[in-house]
Structure 1
Amino acid sequence: MGSVLELIDRFGYLGVAGVVFVESFGVPAPGETAIIAGAVAAGSGHLNIFGVAAVAFLAAVIGDTLGYEIGRRGGRPLVHRFGKYVRLTPQRLDKVEAFMTRQGPKVIVVARFVEGLRQFNGIVAGLSGMHYRKFIAWNALGAALWVGLWSTGGYFAGDHIEQIAKAASRYLVVAVAVAVLAVIAYVWRRRRHRHQVDR
């Protein structure tokens, strides 16, 4: 957090946007931390919180859209060739793609809050042939929720953000698991309802 705060202190909004942007199309970077650092800076009067949230949201959406285009145009050969440089191995790609295929586009929202999925959901959505408009809609919703959560939390937490982040991380896995189960239950109910209607 200290090094990211220094980065944001030096480059301001551009620092927040840059880190979030590169993370969103697959480069391992502390995008979440950059948003929190920007929000902390806003809380101390160095930046405007609405400016931090706006640039982070735009960077997240544009970065994911670039990832989508990489996946759609480059396909698996490109990812297999260069994925190792951003820790996207063929095995990890298969797991992420299978998960997204099973759960549908709604998982793009949940993926924003999961390390590993967040960086590659755009690439995998492009690879799997997800419709562009559908991807953009769910991606924008996920980015808005993600940026809103961390920018608000960082702004109001101020100097206590590190202690809060440590406490929150204990429950994050549980929260994500509950969200995923809710999506699965929703999809299962929809399929069951359709099956009964078809009868």
Structure 2
Amino acid sequence: MGIGHWLTTIPPLAVYLTVLGVVGIESFGIPLPGEIVLVSATLMATRPELAVSAVWVAVCALIGAVVGDSIGFAVGRRYGIGLLEAAGRRFPKHFGPAHVALAERAFDRWGVLTVIVGRFVAILRILAGPLAGALRMPYRKFMPANVIGGVLWTFGTTALVYALGVAAETWLRRFSWAGLAVALVVGLVVGFLVKKRVIGLLTAPEEGATRS
């Protein structure tokens, strides 16, 4: 049984629930590949035979993002920065002092905009909710930024990847899986460049100070 046939056996509801769950858990503060799952589900939506709706993929991702971030905010507000420090000792790869310091610097520099920008950077996507709560950001400011960032990230990513996937299918019709692979690679490269740019903006002043 080929991969194409296997994909047709996956119910669309299972795809939507997977997107909602993975993005929600990642937004809560647990490192999971939310962006990869969102991109992969959107690419499935470019295949009509799979009956997956790109709109529902985006909607489920948005619900997961907003609810997950809100839960992370509540947990951070309840347990404070000590929770992140404890998580850093247990999971230094994801919550180490350097990661928390980078997120704190983002909040110092951009304030509530960090919640919006953080949607596009894996480190901030995981830490933004809990850290905003720990830093006592008012929820009335956090929630609108949470929704705006979620809409831009989920629907923006879905629209871009879907368009690339359809274009790749058209251009490479005889090699359909190669077309999907091209779209996936392009989507991940764009995400990487955005992440690199944001981290560069946050670390540049420190590097300059070090050289001087």
Provide the TM-score with structure 2 as the length reference.
Answer: 0.72
**Deviates further, 39-48 or 153-162:** 153-162
CA drift at 1:165? 4.0
1:86-123 superposed Cα distances (whole Å, 9 cap, x missing partner): 72123421231122122111122111111211111111
C-alpha distance in 2 between matches for 1:166 and 1:12:
20
1:61 aligned to which of 66, 71, 82: 66
Provide the TM-score with structure 1 as the length reference.
Answer: 0.76
Match of 2:107 in 1: 100
CA drift at 1:55? 1.0
CA drift at 1:16? 1.0
Secondary structure, in 3 states, of the residue corresponding to 2:95?
A: coil
Query: Contact 2:120/2:194 (CA < 8 Å) preserved in 1?
Result: no
Match of 1:81 in 2: 86
Partner AA of 2:29 in structure 1: G
Unpaired runs of at least 5, structure 2? 167-176, 202-212
Match of 2:151 in 1: 144
Question: Where has structure 1 moved over 4 Å in runs of 4 or more?
Answer: 168-176, 178-181
Match of 2:139 in 1: 132
Indicate the structure whose relative CO is greater, using CA pairs within 8 Å and at least 6 residues apart: 1
C-alpha distance in 2 between matches for 1:103 and 1:142:
14
Q: How many residue pairs are counted as aligned between the two chains? A: 177
Identity within the alignment, %: 31
Secondary structure, in 3 states, of the residue corresponding to 1:116?
A: helix
Partner AA of 1:132 in structure 2: Y
**Deviates further, 45-54 or 125-134:** 45-54
Match of 1:38 in 2: 41
C-alpha distance in 2 between matches for 1:91 and 1:171:
24
Aligned alpha-carbon RMSD (Å): 2.8
CA drift at 1:146? 0.5
Partner AA of 1:125 in structure 2: A
